[in-house]
Structures are given as structure tokens and as C-alpha cells.
Amino acid sequence: MTTHLPPNQSLDTDSSAQESPMPNNVLKNDEPDNQEMIDENTDALDNDDLLEEDSDIDDGDDEVPVAGQAIPVVVDMTHIVTEDQSGLRIDKVASQVFSDFSRVQVQGWITDGSLLYNGSVQRPKVRVKADDVLHLSTTLQQHSEDQPEDIDIDVVYEDDDVLVINKPVGMVVHPGAGNQTGTLVNALLYHYPQQHHLPRAGLVHRIDKDTSGLLLIGKTKPAQMALMEQLKDKSVYRHYQCVVAGDAASLLRHRRIDAPIGRHRTQRTKMTVMTAGREAVTHLLNVTPLNENYCLLDVGLETGRTHQIRVHLSHITYPLVGDRVYGGRRQLRSGLSEAQRQAISNFPRQALHAYTLGFVHPTTGEDVEVTTPLPEDMQQLIAVLSNGYDDEYDK
């Protein structure tokens, strides 16, 4: 189904009336994306989000074991601090020299005593001196309990190093409490069994179960690590489209939403805007009216917090259509026909789609951009909400 939006109604936020100029790196070289950070000073995208790396490295064995087979990997590595590294923090040096692992892993090992400094446990912030000794000894956690399942996946880009998947609505990204099967990881292990040894089968970030759209996956350990670093330094960008309850004029007053987000104090599955939260910035790149009280938004993320788009739009009182957690009755505005009211009330999920993904190829260094159209359910919703608005707009 192809839906034609009302003509001449796309209000670009790059106009001279823009309230705050948006950094160029948000328009394109944008998003850090994940819930867990790989660096203590960097935030990952989790609206979709950076996955904390907590799994084993490639042990160099050319044989590809069967997914599900237990393959313990023992790590025993020693490094002597050089003159050039003298004065740096332990965690900084360790992240440089034990580069097969993420910063989250390294910092955890410093804390739990797996990584010793001159034979003893020290805080990550301690400064090292030349000839000091870092010794890492640990057994890597296995991810082989995730089982392959014959589940269809929509591959929109693939080469020897990188995979981009268009995730459908309703698919959980990786196994967890209550979702041990039927996930994207289970599907990846079936179609790409060689990825059993990668953390989360190579996933670099994730999106909510009921959000559709593009997900980036590394097919090798170096590619996955490089892409995670790109998320951290904002050379990966993702743009989203969503349908919201709000008029264009009001939304254009919120082109840049800067409001810190943290976990709700009493409802622990929810996020909320709070003074003590982590920095969160969302940009409304384009606003397209569907009728007087509903719009299609093109959204870019400058940071990536859990549920960031949903929380920020709800915070400014213009929630996503279908968002039962952050929207509530505010989704229903005045002036709706019965068909429109029913379409909104019955829309089964948040109307949010990750439609553009851009990154620097980890091997070739070339810029890659992948796009995917709006899913059928959002196209139908847009068609119902914009029905008759063409005629009204042309009067």
C-alpha cells in the first residue's frame, strides 16, 4: 500500500524561524544508541540502544561449533605499562591493551578482581606508572544457551562484515526474562550459525518490541566492536518516523527537546523526565500535518536513552499514537471522525518506526545509508488520519 501525504504540508525545521540550530552531526552523523554504555562518559542508544558487551571473544578457532554447544573461553593476559601510558587511569590503559573487550567488561573485571593492578584490586580511577603490571584472568560468560530458531528475517543490507535487519512489530530483539524464544537473536543463530560466538549474535543496538525498523548487526567480532564504537562517537545515525497527537504549530515550538531522562521512582518499567536523569536531547527534523491535530514526525536523536522519543513527546504533551504506557487518553484530540477515533483507539502499538540507518563501513571506511518504508499498519493509520485533509487544506 502506498500512502500519499497531503501536498505542501511538510514543514522543514531547517527554516530561518528555527528556535535552536541543530548540530550537523545530528542530521546525519548522529546517534549513540543503547541502554547500556560502553564508556562511562558516553551514552548509548537505547530506544533502541547499545548492547552491553558481556560475552566471549573470538578464540581464533576456525571450526564453527554448533550453536548451543558449551565452549568455555579462559582469558589469561598480562600487560606491562609503558612510558607513554604512565599517568593514565587503570581503566583507560586496560581498555586500550585488552581491546577485544568492551569498556563495560573491563571496568567490571577491575571491580570484581579479575583484572589486577600489581597483584591487587584497585579502583578504575587509579593512575598507573611505567612498568606497573596489569593481569587479566577470567572465564568468559557463554551465550550458547540461546538456541537457533527458523524464524524469517527481513535482510535489507548484507556484506561480509555487516547485516541490517528490518525488525517487524512484535519481535523481541534478544532473549530475556519471559522471552527465551522467538527473538531476533534466535533467528540470527539459525540463519547465521557462525555468529554463535558473538555477543547477542552480533547485535549492536536494539529497539522496543513494538517499534519497527532497522537494526545494525556485526557479522564478525571486529565489525561488531567497531560499530559499537561508532555508536559511542556518533558516526552512526538513525532517524525515526512517528505519528503523534499534536498540531503542527505547537510541535514546531519544540524542535529541540532537551530534558534529562531517568527511571521512574515507583514504576520501574517506565522512564520519565527528571532533574537527576541523564542528558537526553531529541530533534524534530520535519513535521508533516495529517490533519489539524495529528502529525507525522521525522525525529533524530542526539542522545539515546531508553524510550527517549516516547518519553520526550509525552513530556511536551504530544504523545505517540498507540503508546499505552506514555500516551493514555491524550492520544484522542478533538475534531475526529468516528473512523479516525476508532483507528487511534485500536492502534495496537506505539506508531514509531526506525526508517533510516547510516554508518561508516568498519572495513572499507565508506559511508553506508539504509532506508526502509513505513510498515503497513502505520501507512493505514496515516491514510485514515489524513482523509479529507487535502481538500480542507486547499480551500
Annotated catalytic residues are 208
The residue whose grid cell reads 562518559 is 41
The residue whose grid cell reads 541523564 is 278
* Phi and psi torsions of 138, nearest 5°: -160, 160
Cell of 153: 528475517
DSSP state of 247: -
> What is the spatial distance between Cα 141 and Cα 66, in angstroms, rounded to a whole number?
17
> Quick one: angle between helices 90-97 and 103-112, nearest 10?
120
Q: Which residues contact 285 (CB under 8 A, 6 or more apart)?
A: 12, 13, 22, 27, 239, 297, 298, 299, 300
Q: Are 256 and 22 in contact (CB under 8 A)?
A: yes
Q: Are 339 and 346 in contact (CB under 8 A)?
A: no
Counting Cα atoms < 13 Å in the Cβ hemisphere of 262 gives 9
Do β-strands 237-245 and 294-301 pair in parallel, antiparallel, or remain unpaired?
antiparallel
> What is the spatial distance between Cα 351 and Cα 332, in angstroms, rounded to a whole number?
14
Neighbour-count burial of 69, counting CB atoms closer than 10 A to its CB (0-12 exposed, 13-18 middle, 19+ buried): exposed
